[in-house]
């Protein structure tokens, strides 16, 4: 009870400080997971009243992916070898909002900087690799309440482009394989803006 009271007090205090706070998640990430154990996907974003057109955020996720998402994330030679893929990551995002005062929502353009970590298993064997990526994106924050706060949907499209990290991976058979270079993203986040 004290934790909930602290969180509510914190949110209300932050609201008085002249910015909006939103919390969102990607339901497709949960659909792409094998199970609901130890899975999370969370974005926390801020819009400052003095800079209404800009939205800044942090995000993190972790989950064991099902075969459909494993096929999308991994090179074919690795996807066919594994029994389990754990995908975790974190990052920062920056958005420019075209109509921040619109009660119906706003088109937004953005960029995400993130770290992707992959842990692959085949029986008792394990491989790990990671990428640091830039993800240009475009989306639309649509408020369900016809106000500039409350519940919203945020469909967006983008492409993860690696800028550093592991270019080649030694697979379970000892062969080197190229990691995927560009990962297209098409999803819809669900969120609430305070």
CA 110/CA 165 separation, integer angstroms: 22
CA 49/CA 77 separation, integer angstroms: 49
CA 164/CA 141 separation, integer angstroms: 30
CA 79/CA 96 separation, integer angstroms: 36
pLDDT tens-digit map of 26-68: 999 998 888 767 899 999 999 988 888 999 999 999 999 988 8
pLDDT tens-digit map of 130-179: 999 999 999 999 999 888 788 999 999 999 999 999 888 888 888 888 88
The strand ranges marked E within the chain are 19-25, 40-48, 54-64, 84-97, 105-122, 125-143, 150-165, 168-170, 176-178, 183-193
Domain range summary for the chain, segments of one domain joined by +: 19-193
Q: Does domain 19-193 have CATH number 2.40.160.20?
A: yes
CA 179/CA 176 separation, integer angstroms: 9
């Amino acid at each position: 009870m004290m934790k909930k009271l602290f969180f509510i007090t914190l949110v209300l205090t932050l609201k008085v400080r002249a910015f909006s706070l939103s919390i969102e998640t990607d339901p497709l990430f949960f659909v792409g997971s094998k199970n609901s154990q130890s899975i999370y996907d969370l974005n926390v974003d801020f819009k400052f009243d003095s800079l209404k057109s800009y939205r800044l955020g942090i995000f993190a996720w972790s989950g064991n992916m099902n075969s459909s998402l494993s096929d999308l994330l991994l090179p074919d030679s690795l996807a066919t070898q594994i029994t389990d893929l754990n995908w975790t990551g974190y990052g920062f995002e920056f958005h420019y909002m075209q109509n921040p005062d619109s009660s119906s929502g706003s088109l937004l353009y953005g960029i995400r900087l993130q770290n992707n970590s992959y842990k692959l298993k085949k029986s008792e064997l394990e491989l790990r690799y990671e990428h640091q990526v830039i993800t240009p994106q475009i989306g639309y924050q649509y408020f369900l309440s016809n106000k500039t706060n409350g519940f919203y949907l945020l469909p967006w499209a983008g492409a993860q482009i690696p800028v550093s990290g592991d270019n080649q991976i030694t697979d379970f058979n000892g062969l080197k394989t190229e990691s995927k270079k560009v990962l297209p993203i098409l999803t819809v986040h669900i969120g609430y803006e305070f």
